[in-house]
Amino acid sequence: MKRKLFLGLWLSLLFVAISALFWKNEYKYSLPTPIPKNHHDVAMGTHIDLGKRDVKKDKPVFIHFFNPDCPCSRFNVPHVSELIKKYGDKIDFKIVVLNKEKDFTVAEIQNKFGATVPVFFDEEIAKKCGVFSTPQAVLIDATQNLYYRGNYNKTRYCTDAKSNYAQMAIDSLLSQNITPSFDALALRSYGCSLPKCIK
């Protein structure tokens, strides 16, 4: 009887531990990121003034909001690297690192992506674009108006070609589609919350 009780207790403990690990590493990242109380929404089409942040005139700007400590951010590094390689001659790519817990160098971030794109450590850019989680993609057209702000893909690993939202936004902008249409999954924030970029 004691043996059965001990086995039952052990199996229950194991189930709780596995459930906690699943929650910590998987399920919670599939839930939308809560909108902060003080969040100021920025509508599509809003003029985004990036100031003196090395903006090339007459070229669309793609900003990747990234936190090296966010699992979702880490999973999509290869996908963002591919976007930079594929569209780097047509789009002005930038990376904005959002992490208040650690210091990272420009070289460290560029090495992660295998690209020498400009890297900024400026939370103000996130506020201007209405970003409150990582990873997020922002695409600003050549006239500096917000064209897209949203997710990269509905899967964490960016493996679903049918939901490559950020790439679809780039293709749409480059084909001069003035009124793009994206589904709710593309525009709802998922990932790690700002300001500390934790879920």
**Predicted pLDDT of residue 197:** 59
In the structure, what pLDDT confidence band is assigned to residue 58 with cuts at 50, 70 and 90?
Answer: confident
Token pair recorded at residue 190: 């998922």
> Average per-residue pLDDT in the chain?
84
Span 63-87, pLDDT tens digits: 999 999 988 888 899 999 999 999 9
Pairing of strands 92-97, 61-66: parallel
Measured CA angle at 168 (ends 156, 129), to 5 deg: 75
Q: Tell me whether residue 45 is in a domain.
A: no
Answer whether residue 19 is part of any domain.
Answer: no
Range of weakest confidence among 21-25, 46-50, 122-126, 138-142: 21-25
- Residue in 3, 136, 116, 13 with CA at minimum distance from that of residue 73: 136
User: Quick one: how far is CA 178 from the chain centroid?
Assistant: 23
Position 65 in a domain: yes
Number of separate domains in the chain = 1
Domain annotation covers residue 173: yes
Rg of the chain over CA atoms, in angstroms?
A: 19
150: in domain: yes
Give residue 160's identity as a one-letter amino acid code.
D
Four-CA torsion 118, 132, 134, 104, nearest 10 degrees: 50
User: Is 159 domain-assigned?
Assistant: yes
Phi then psi for 137, rounded to 5 degrees? -110, 135
Q: Which domain holds residue 144?
A: 61-193
Say which CATH number the domain at 101 has.
Answer: 3.40.30.10
Q: Does residue 87 form part of some domain?
A: yes
